Amino acid sequence: MNAETVIGRIVSVSALSLALACGGERAAAPADGGASAPESQSSKPVTIKGSDTMVVLGQRLAEEYMKANPSAVIQVNGGGSGTGIAALINGTADLAQSSRSMKSDELEKAKQSRGAEIVETPVALDALAVFVHSVNPVKSLTIQQIAGIYGGKTKNWKDVGGSNAPIIIYGRESSSGTYDYFREHVLNKGDFVPTVQTLQGTAAIINAVSRDKNGIGYGGIAYAKEVRAIGIKGDKGVVEPSIGTVADGSYPLSRKLFFYYPSNAPERVTQFVQWSLGPEAQALVTDVGYFPLATTASTATATTTGGTATQTQ
């Protein structure tokens, strides 16, 4: 299955959860026709939406959490960081997954619509990697060279030490947090060249580059299969994307992957978030292909910074 296919998974073993999966928010009515009791908060689903980069991570965390907590119901959907943030604002998601930080106007809208400060919780570390075909002789590029390619100034691989062949460029859709991050940190908020072939999801980019020996793409390091992630060349030499270089910040395209939710979220949401920061969940982060947080404490506290509650371990 495509790792970034939009996923909505509900696991249920009780009659109550079966009734919920059929669309109701209350338990099935009793046989005598009497009114049913309202469903408890703990049996309602936790709805998660957002980053396609994070959807495979969110799915894995949800699966393992539901195994450990049979009464829990977790729904995970992709669509892009911007889509998840919009769902958080309009109240159709309990928790947004985002591969970029929320913008100040988004935070204010969410605060007003949800009636509470928004909690920002890093859940994993990522290297935004630049991918080329496995036979491409180019092993590393500077940020400036990557910007030249995606900005349209560099059009042939020979200009960056490769073969005499046109560079075929693949990129993400504008609703993607990865798109925003790349545009800010590589293009310095400049424009992408119009010839970029826009694809939905990093998995689609990986598929395209793996089939195109002249292709180049970018995305989360967890998807680097059947392609090669190049090193980033700087003043101190070439830095490869790895757990060590991401953790110490030496890899220039290191980033955090976030959960966002209102500080007045119900316990079923906050318990899942707290579990995601613990050692068992952080081991799953590694299994998926991302990097765990620097520490694996199982508790966290919410602090307020600039109107945003930031959850730290």
Which tokens belong to 13?
């073993």
Percent of the chain scoring above 70 in pLDDT: 80
Whether the predicted pLDDT of 7 surpasses 60: no
Residue 43: the pLDDT is 66
Whether 200 and 212 map to the same domain: the answer is yes
Asked if 181 contacts 192 with a C-beta cutoff of 8 angstroms, the reply is no
pLDDT digits (tens, 9 = 90+) for 102-155: 999 999 999 999 999 999 999 999 999 999 999 999 999 999 999 999 999 999
- Pair (233, 155) in one structural domain: yes
Residue 10, number of CB atoms within 10 A of its CB: 15
Confidence of residue 309 (pLDDT cuts 50, 70, 90): low
Instruction: Based on the fold, state whether residues 221 and 289 are members of the same structural domain.
Output: no
pLDDT at 311: 52
Eight-class DSSP state of 256 = E
Contact in structure between 258 and 191 (CB atoms under 8 Å): no
* Strand ranges, E, within 45-150: 45-50, 73-79, 95-98, 118-132, 140-142
CATH of residue 284's domain is 3.40.190.10
For residue 309 the two structure tokens come to 């509650």
Residue 230 and residue 150 in one domain: yes
| Residue whose pair of structure tokens reads 């009114």 in the numeric block | 35
- Nearest-10 Cα torsion for 31, 32, 37, 42: -20
Establish if 1 belongs to a structural domain: no
Do 274 and 236 share a domain, yes or no?
Answer: no
Tokens 């504008």 appear where?
Answer: 174
Q: Are residues 131 and 234 in the same domain?
A: yes
Strands 215-220 and 231-234: unpaired
Binned at pLDDT 50, 70 and 90, residue 241 comes out as very high
The pLDDT mean for the chain works out to: 84
Considering the domain architecture, whether residues 266 and 117 belong to the same structural domain is answered as: yes
Q: Establish if 198 belongs to a structural domain.
A: yes
Spatial contact of 180 and 57, defined as CB atoms under 8 Å apart: no
Tally of structural domains, the chain: 2
H/E element, 302 = strand 301-305
3-state DSSP assignment of residue 123:
strand
Q: Which residues of 65-93 are buried (b: 16+ CB within 10 A; e: fewer)?
A: bbeeeeebbbbbbbbbbbbbbbbbbeeeb
In a domain, 3, yes or no: no
The mean pLDDT value for 24-53 works out to: 58
Residues in the chain: 313
pLDDT at position 157 is 98
Phi/psi of residue 241, nearest 5 degrees: -70, 120
What is the residue range of 208's domain? Answer: 127-247
**pLDDT tier at 24, thresholds 50, 70, 90:** very low
Co-location of 120 and 131 in the same domain: no
Q: What angle do CA 20, 26, 29 make, to 5 degrees?
A: 105
- pLDDT for 294 equals 67
Amino acid at 271: Q
Residues 143 and 239 both lie in one domain: yes
Q: How confident is the model at residue 305 (pLDDT cuts 50, 70, 90)?
A: very low
pLDDT band with cut points at 50, 70 and 90 for residue 62: very high
The residue among 206, 225, 247 that closes a domain is 247
Separation CA 244–CA 292 (nearest Å)? 11
| Same domain, yes or no: 148 and 293 | no
Within a domain: residue 10?
A: no
Q: What is the mean pLDDT of residues 62-77?
A: 96
User: pLDDT digits over 252-275, tens only?
Assistant: 999 999 999 999 999 999 999 999
Residue 4 included in any domain: no
Least confident of 98-107, 211-220, 289-298: 289-298
DSSP symbol at 198: E
Query: Which residue among 191, 212, 247 closes a domain?
Result: 247
Decide if pLDDT at 26 tops 90. Answer: no
